[in-house]
Chain A
Amino acid sequence: MTGTSGSPVLEVDDLAVQFTRRGEQPTRAVDGVSFSVAPGETIGLVGESGCGKSVTSLAIMGLLPQRGVQVTGSVRLDGTELLGAGPRTLRTLRGKDMAMVFQDPLSSLNPTVTVGTQVTEVLAEHRDMTGRAAQDEATELLDRVGIPDPRRRLGEYPHQLSGGMRQRALIAMALACSPRLLIADEPTTALDVTIQAQILELLRELVQGSGTALVMITHDLGVVAGLCDRVHVMYAGRVIETADRRPLFATPRHPYTGGLLGSVPRLDTGRGTPLTPIRGSARDTIPWSQGCAFAPRCDNAEDDCLTEVSGSTVPLEADGLRRELRCRHPLHATPAAAGAPAGATAASSAGASAGSPSTGSSSWSSSEGQQS
């Protein structure tokens, strides 16, 4: 499915997460999500708050609470099935073979414990390193993620570090055992724009250097444009569009993807030009069983978007080369040739600047700037 060589590090197949609460209708936070990540590849899970991105990542890591949560489907890390694995197995895998970086670097670090202790505890857990050796390795790790004066920083508390440095420290901890898979759950959301760019660059360097598979969870299309090879757009718990980065930005097919790209403020439009937000909010959905969940907010929606008219749920279907789409009335009616140079269609599309065929770094740093 992914064109990259080598067997995938992570294969998620038909993953569904259902929350049940006594006396309430069960809610499906994630519904039939499938994707895979190859070594060294970066994929993006994109969507608004509440679309199931974070729940997907927690389900992969086995970090969802036991009670009231039903996880079905299949999650394989290097061929090993993770769903249904015992807590002990999962714990030894976490931190060693798969790691995660969270959104808020301040609250993700224990305020009462020094940074050094928190880094060395990972080393003690998975690499049996203690004392001097662990200290030296921790210094080395902090140095590798670009924290100046790492030895002094080891003895400091999280509140003494700047936001960017905290996130660097967390990345250092996540990469301490060179995991096969790194999940980054909106790692730059809590940071300044300039720091965001640095952190993204750091992630990219570290991932490319080591062949780690990176799953980037974000609502920031700038991040996607800069970092991801392949993008899965999620809405209301389901993947609605999957494509490689450039085709996606050049010719978004799903109206929701188009809306996301259209609602990003851009520097090259004139002052006073109104932004085009997506109508309504993520709460205005209908269950997938009754039709397309995005239909209530969709400008392209027609009667057959509802199940009772068309008689079937909207399927996720192949849409050109290496693309999948869950929509009956997509944008860009002619399925844009994904193989065609992105620049050819870029001018006509909403995400043109980010998808332009110039080098990735220059284009995404400009879209970074637009986020502020």
Chain B
Amino acid sequence: MTVTTPRPGAGRRDRIDELAARAGQLSDGDGGESLLRSAVRRLRRNPVAILGAVIVVAFLLVALFAPLLAPRDPYAQSLLSEVRQGSIPGSRDGYLLGVDQLGRDVLSRLLYGSRQSLLIGVVSTVLGAVLGMALGILAGGLGGKVDTVVMRFVDILLSIPGLLMAISISVLLGASQLSLMIAIAVTQVPVFARLLRGSMLVQRDSDYALAARALGVRRRRIVFGHVLPNSLSPVIVQATLSLATAIIEAAALSFLGLGDPDISRPEWGAMLASAQSVLSIRPELAIYPALCIIVVALGFTLLGEALREALDPKFRR
């Protein structure tokens, strides 16, 4: 009722008005909004998503602007002139995080190292996702015998431990940055293939796919226009999480000496490996790159988990 007593009811009336306004906003906000946009809106309300996004964005900016941010040349060896037996790397005046065994600025090397991690992470994940999705579409879209053959192949890939396979492949291809990326990509392929296929199988049996068939829409159009777009959200989530795995695997392979043969190039895994020899006297040389790897991987994982929630229809509103 619009007629209310002026004073006592005022608070409640305001509240109702506010609720009504909010309800109006909700339905308004709903108007013209795609599923993707509503997912973004939900992401922005989630603190975990924001933390993950902040870490990821900071990492991207650092990698992008490393030459501007780094105080010194990451290759310059300050100890070269005063090298003597028993010289100990560590803190030095003018170097924020000290220098390593060769007298190179640790901070600058960490900053530059982010570029390697980003490059390897993104390229190998994209490569793995594209190949995996191609297999997934083949299996999930065509079904039948194709599905069986493709999925058995994927199962074989999946049965080999990821790191072991990556090591074997990079040994096979020879140590180079490209082979490192390929090795990591191959370990991602079965994950994406299985995920997309499973998600497509569910969607293929959905009512709208049946309705589209009942209208005589051809299979190619149903697979690419209907089933695939509805199956993508787990793949997007997986891609984000895979970036974290790829960065860790890249560091692990470099640590094992299977990364870039140019060992002077700053890379977190390689930095960790070389810090091993002085671990007892200068543990911080190992801690810094390790921390970088952990934080960046955590950032992608948090973002991925938040994405999963945002894209999951069960959590909607």
- Answer whether A91 and B216 are a contact pair too, CB < 8 Å, given A108-B208, A156-B32, A157-B34: yes
- Chain A contact-residue range equals 20 to 34
| A121 smallest CB distance to B (angstroms) | 6
Q: Is A46 an interface residue, CB under 8 A from the partner?
A: no
Q: If the complex has contacts A94-B213, A173-B215, are A121 and B208 also in contact, measured as CB distance less than 8 A?
A: no
**In the complex, B35 has a CB within 8 A of chain A:** yes
A112 within 8 A of B: yes
Residues of chain B lying within 8 A (CB to CB) of residue A112: 34-35, 229-230
Whether B155 sits at the interface, judged by CB under 8 Å, is no
Q: B33: shortest Cβ distance to chain A, in Å?
A: 8
| A85 CB–B CB distance under 8 Å | no
Query: Which residue of B31, B33, B207, B216 contacts A107 across the interface (Cβ within 8 Å)?
Result: B207
Q: Is the beta-carbon distance between B230 and A110 smaller than 8 angstroms?
A: yes
| Contact call A93/B216, Cβ cutoff below 8 A | yes
B217 within 8 A of A: yes
- Report if A48 contacts B (CB, 8 A): no
Query: Which A residues are CB-close (under 8 A) to B32?
Result: 155-156, 160
Say yes or no for B87: interface residue by CB 8 A criterion: no
B contacts with A: majority SS? helix
Q: Which residues of B contact A267 (CB under 8 A)?
A: none
Question: Which of A94, A109, A126 makes the CB contact (< 8 A) with B214?
Answer: A94
Which of A92, A107, A108, A126 has the largest count of B CB atoms less than 10 A from its CB?
Answer: A108
CB pair A111 B211 closer than 8 Å:
no
Residue of B nearest to A96 (CB): B216
Of B172-180, B218-226, B277-285, B290-298, the one touching chain A: B218-226
What's the least CB distance linking B152 to chain A, in Å? 19
A107 close to B208 (CB less than 8 A): yes
Name the A residues within 8 Å of B229 (CB-CB): 110, 112-113
Chain B residues 32 to 51 lying within 8 A of chain A, measured CB to CB, are 32-35
Contacts A107-B206, A110-B208, A113-B226 given; does A63 touch B213 at CB 8 Å = yes
Tell me, yes or no, whether B256 is within 8 Å of chain A by CB.
no
What count of chain B residues pass the 8 Å CB interface test? 23
- A residues near B225, Cβ cutoff 8 Å: 110, 113, 117, 121
Question: Is the CB–CB distance between B31 and A126 below 8 Å?
Answer: no
Say yes or no: A63 contacts B35, CB within 8 Å.
no
Nearest-CB distance from B37 to chain A (Å)?
10
Q: Which of B238-257 contact A (CB under 8 A)?
A: none
Q: In the complex, what distance in Å separates the CA atom of A102 from the CA atom of B208? A: 9
Q: Report the separation of the CA atoms of residues A107 and B210 in the bound assembly, to the nearest whole angstrom.
A: 10
- Nearest Cβ in chain B — how far from A171, in angstroms? 12
Q: How far is the CA of A296 from the CA of B170 in the complex (A)?
A: 71
Complex contacts, B230 vs chain A, CB 8 Å: 110-112
Residue-wise, chain B 12-38 has the 8 Å CB interface mask toward A (1 for contact) of 000000000000000000111111000
> At the interface, yes or no: A100 with Cβ under 8 Å from chain B?
yes
Per the bound structure, the CA–CA distance linking A159 and B33 in Å amounts to: 10
Render A156-190 as a binary contact track against B, CB cut-off 8 A, 1 for contact. 11011000000000100110100000000000000
Nearest residue (CB) in B for A91 is B216
Q: Is B212 an interface residue (CB 8 A)?
A: yes
Q: Does A9 contact B (CB under 8 A)?
A: no
Q: Determine whether the beta carbon of B215 is less than 8 Å from that of A122.
A: yes
Separation of A122 and B30 alpha carbons in the complex (Å): 27
Cα of A96 to Cα of B215 in the assembled complex, Å: 7
B214 touches A99 (CB 8 A): yes
- Across the interface, do A122 and B211 meet the contact criterion of CB distance under 8 Å? no
The docked-state distance in angstroms from the alpha carbon of A99 to that of B212 is: 10
Cα distance, A267 to B33, chains bound together (Å): 43
Q: Measured between alpha carbons, how far is A160 from B38 in the docked complex, in Å?
A: 12
Cβ of A170 to closest chain B Cβ, rounded Å: 7
Given contacts A91-B218, A95-B217, contact A160 B226 (CB under 8 A): no
Q: Across the interface, do A102 and B35 meet the contact criterion of CB distance under 8 Å?
A: no
Contact of A102 among B34, B207, B216 (CB under 8 A): B207
* B217 near A122: Cβ-Cβ < 8 Å: yes
Annotate A107-149 by CB proximity to B: 1 below 8 A, 0 otherwise: 1111111000110011001100000000000000000000000
Select from chain B the residue with minimum beta-carbon distance to A104.
Answer: B207
The residue that A125 contacts in the complex, of B33, B34, B211, B218, with Cβ under 8 A, is: B218
Q: Which of B30, B208, B216 makes the CB contact (< 8 A) with A94? A: B216
Given the known inter-chain contacts A121-B221, A157-B35, A160-B31, please indicate yes or no for A109 contacting B216, CB distance below 8 A.
no
Whether A102 touches B211, Cβ cut-off 8 Å, given contacts A111-B230, A112-B35, A157-B34, is yes
Knowing A102-B207, A110-B226, A111-B35, the reply to whether A63 touches B216 (Cβ < 8 A) is: no
Contact A95/B214 with A110-B208, A110-B226 known, Cβ cut-off 8 Å:
yes
A161–B211 CA distance with the chains assembled, in angstroms: 18
Residues of B within 8 A of A104 (CB): 207
Residues of A within 8 A of B212 (CB): 110, 118, 121
Bound-state Cα–Cα, A111 to B231, Å = 12
Chain B, range 256-272, C-beta contacts under 8 Å to A: none
Provide 6 A-B residue pairs closer than 8 Å at the C-beta atoms, listed in order of the A residue.
Answer: A91-B216, A99-B215, A100-B215, A102-B214, A110-B226, A121-B217
B residues with a Cβ closer than 8 A to A are 30-35, 206-208, 210-218, 221, 225-226, 229-230
Give the 4 A-B residue pairs with the shortest CB-CB distance, closest first: A95-B216, A94-B216, A107-B207, A95-B215
